[in-house]
Amino acid sequence: MCNSSVGTAVPTVQIENETVRVTRWDFAKKGDNTGWHRHGHDYVVVPLFDGALDIKGPDGTITKAPMQIGASYARGAGVEHDVINANDYPVAFVEIEMLATSEES
């Protein structure tokens, strides 16, 4: 992620090289958040929990996003949001950012 404000969720970069960055995001409690950010690269999210996240958009609208363990989804570069734990328990997901294609590296 880039262009981010400070949130309360904890990011742990697991892999980073010329082509990919893999970050585990841990939310200890309800309301923990990533902080406002804009994605600079295409990315994939792999939920490690069943539940939901609240996604706060640029206009302040909050959308509830259902999550299922291992049910990955992808988004393109440019997405702006704050991701918030909507559950009464700790949650986590893995984010995989495509920093460059193999032709670019």
pLDDT block averages, 10 residues each, the chain of length 105:
75 97 98 97 98 97 98 97 98 97 59
Residue 103 lies in a domain: no
Q: How many domains is the chain built from?
A: 1
CATH code of 36's domain: 2.60.120.10
3-state secondary structure 10-47: EEEEEEECCCEEEEEEEECCCCCECCCEECCCCEEEEE
Looking at residue 75, what is its pLDDT?
97
Looking at residue 6, what is its pLDDT?
85
Looking at residue 46, what is its pLDDT?
98
> Which one, of 2, 19, 78, lies nearest residue 11 by Cα?
2
Residue 38 lies in a domain: yes
Domain span at residue 61? 10-98
Looking at residue 100, what is its pLDDT?
87
Looking at residue 88, what is its pLDDT?
98
Looking at residue 86, what is its pLDDT?
98
Residue 1 lies in a domain: no
Looking at residue 105, what is its pLDDT?
52
